């Protein structure tokens, strides 16, 4: 049996009390409109950035960043370095036949500091 998670319980109660905590605080039309550094636009201390790869800055199963978004991605990489994490909803899943996306990392991960979280 998993131990009781007090933090999760308290945060769930906070959301019940203030559902606006789940509302987006900042929206942009496309990835290339993302302001870098984020802390300036959000007026907050941004310590790390997590990006969803699929349908955000690359097509699902694509190994390359969508061309129009390369400059923004490069700015994020330079600004956040090893504090930039890429999450893939497809890499390592049954959709990733032979787990190719996990075994052969995309070129943008071959740069210093960028990591990818996959399902395997």
pLDDT at position 84 is 85
Between CA 58 and CA 91 the distance in angstroms is 13
Residue-wise pLDDT for 100-111, tens only, equals: 555 445 555 555
Express each pLDDT in 43-84 by its tens digit. Answer: 888 888 888 877 788 877 677 888 999 999 999 988 988 888
Quick: pLDDT tens for 6-47: 988 998 899 999 988 888 878 889 999 999 998 888 888 888
Cβ-Cβ contacts under 8 Å for 35 (sequence gap 6 or more): 28, 41
């Amino acid at each position: 049996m998993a131990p009781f998670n007090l933090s999760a319980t308290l945060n769930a109660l906070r959301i019940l009390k203030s559902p606006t905590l789940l509302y987006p605080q900042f929206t942009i039309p496309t990835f290339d409109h993302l302001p870098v550094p984020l802390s300036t636009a959000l007026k907050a201390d941004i310590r790390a950035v997590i990006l969803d790869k699929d349908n955000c800055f690359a097509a699902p199963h694509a190994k390359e960043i969508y061309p129009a978004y390369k400059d923004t991605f490069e700015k994020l990489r330079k600004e956040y370095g090893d504090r930039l994490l890429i999450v893939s909803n497809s890499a390592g899943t049954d959709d990733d036949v032979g787990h190719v996306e996990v075994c052969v990392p995309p070129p943008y991960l071959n740069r210093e500091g960028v990591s990818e979280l996959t399902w395997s």
